[in-house]
Copies of this chain bind each other. A is one copy, B any other.
Amino acid sequence: LLPGVPAEMQAMFERHLAGPIADAGAGRVILTHGLQCFGAGESQIGAALADLMRPGQNPAVGTTADEGVISVRVSAAGDSPEQARRLLLDTADEIRRRLGQLVFGEGQATLAQAVGQLLARGGKTLALAESCTGGWMAKAVTDVSGSSGYFLRGYVTYTNEAKTELLGVRAELIAEHGAVSSEVARAMAVGCRERARSDYAVSVTGIAGPTGGMPQRPVGLAWLGLAGPHCVATRELRLSPSLSRESIRLRTVRAGLNWLRLVLLDPGSLNPQTR
């Protein structure tokens, strides 16, 4: 994920570098590498890398955005593979230093892979409780081969009855606060973790649209819950109601996975006081 030693980073580059070296004319070689980021907008990341992204520089640095994931692409030209690689490594290193935990992976990495690596390394297990994302978070987690090593089960509780029966969310809680609320997200995460006997549980309840929005609870609103060994927290996500149903669901899935990633990187960030 975030390589700590040069050897590890070198191995990562060998694995992720996009194919063999391209010929850039006149004996020049070009090497490219991508860093995948989540948790900040493209403009924010662009501001952090502004000097590196000025036109005409070597390496060249550019960004692209896809449903909340910002890819930073570095292209280094050199007279030899060694020179290009050194330029690439140095710049990628500098970008990682600046962006810190915004960087979740190298090359074509996904958030689910990053989460999976952290769970597997820590020997931790995961269960999921989803409403508006309808199983997409579980789908993303199980896209990763080997996910059966840490993923135990998922609950797709689309109805209120399912939230009550499968996760133990009290009907009165739903009646009082609404299904899309911090209270219900918290109860879903706690119930999911207890029943699955997992180390971590992520829950999500929201309004994917395009219908079903209300002034107080617009399309694009979601509450995420995260329960860990010592605490539970919830988080509000507000996406633009003008986004498509697909975008809202995918961004919500990614926000949940990224939150879990940050908590796995730093379990203390799941504040007990938010319980």
* A residues lining the B interface (CB < 8 Å): 128, 130, 133-139, 141-143, 145-148, 151-159, 161-162, 165-166, 195-196, 208-212, 245-246, 249
Contacts and interface: CB of A to CB of B under 8 A. Distances in A.
Contacts of A148: 158-159, 212
Given A134-B139, A138-B134, A166 B153 contact: yes
Given A130-B135, A153-B158, 8 more contacts: A128-B135, A128-B156, A134-B143, A134-B154, A135-B142, A138-B138, A142-B249, A156-B156
A45 B160 CA distance: 43
A154 B153 contact: no
A211 B158 contact: no
A159 B195 CA distance: 13
Contacts of A152: 158-159, 161-162
A154 B147 CA distance: 19
Contacts of A195: 165
Given A135-B135, A137-B135, A154 B143 contact: no
A209 B145 contact: yes
Nearest to A212: B148
Contacts of A249: 142-143
Contacts of A158: 142, 147-148, 151-154
Contact of A145 (B135, B153, B211): B211
